[in-house]
Amino acid sequence: MTINKIKTPIVILNFKTYLESSGENALNLAKDLESAAIESGITMAAAPQATDIFRITQETDIPILAQHIDPINPGGHTGSNLIDCMIESGIKGTLLNHSEKRMKLSDIDEVIKSSKERDVFSVVCTNNIETSVAAATLNPEFVAVEPPELIGSGIPVSQAEPEIVEGTVAKVKKINKKTEVLCGAGISTGDDMHAALDLGASGVLLASGIILADNPKEALINLVSKI
Ligand SMILES: O=C[C@H](O)COP(=O)(O)O
């Protein structure tokens, strides 16, 4: 089976900067995602730190995203993520505007456009229904709605604030049928993911519930067990 194709429902695991998902641990976690994807048949993608991308794309087959790309061209920029180098490292997609790395609307627009030109898919993170609508007008492949106060809380958005997920799906689909909606924040169990899909989401963007689990591979299998 092909585990490197982007199909929904999708699980995107953001490795952030947890030590449990950095360096050697990042590679091991990516391998857990790979075997969970093979076992379950569900697409599982990873967004590791820039320093871990090349190694992971060399050693696994899952789709890899950048955590952020800067709106820059090659040249005199220090400490930035250049899209061309990210592609050379093996990314297939990118997160943009995560609540821990917010961007200006005009910069999001610019990076979505340069991603499309290079066949890289974009997942624009948003905090509510209104910003999701604004993001969808820029035509990204995905919008991921995440109330920031629930991030890392263990309280799942799909159960605690279902109206945000449902409202985002309804409004985004009204203005752009091609953009898929994901939800994130506090998601960790099969019930959370099931609730997200029931509300019309095409998948989840998550982090701590899996990264900090005693057994991340088991947690991933549990996450998709009710689909
Ligand atoms: O990118 C992932 C989100 O910020 C969700 O994080 P969390 O699963 O730790 O709440």
- Report the CATH number at residue 166: 3.20.20.70
Binding residues: 14-16, 151, 186, 207-208
ipTM attached to this prediction: 0.99
CB of 14 sitting under 6 A from ligand 1: yes
Query: Could you tell me if residue 4 is inside a domain?
Result: no
Catalytic residue, candidates 34, 146, 166, 180:
146
Among this protein's residues, is 149 annotated catalytic? no
Per the structure, how many domains does the chain have?
A: 1
**Degrees (nearest 5) of the Cα angle 77, 80, 82?**
90
Residue 1 included in any domain: no
- Is residue 68 situated within a structural domain? yes
Strand partners, 10: 43, 203
pLDDT in tens, the chain (227 residues): 577 889 999 999 999 999 999 999 999 999 999 999 999 999 999 999 999 999 999 999 999 999 999 999 999 999 999 999 999 999 999 999 999 999 999 999 999 999 999 999 999 999 999 999 999 999 999 999 999 999 999 999 999 999 999 999 999 999 999 999 999 999 999 999 999 999 999 999 999 999 999 999 999 999 999 99
Q: Identify whether 5 is part of a domain.
A: no
Prior bond of 140 cis (ω within 30°): no
Does 25 fall in a domain? yes
Can 68 be counted among the known catalytic residues?
A: no
User: Which residue out of 14, 96, 126, 143 has the highest number of ligand 1 atoms within 8 Å of its CB and is therefore the one to mutate?
Assistant: 14
Query: Which residue segment(s) compose the domain that 209 sits in?
Result: 10-223
Q: Which atom of ligand 1 is nearest to the CA of 211?
A: 9
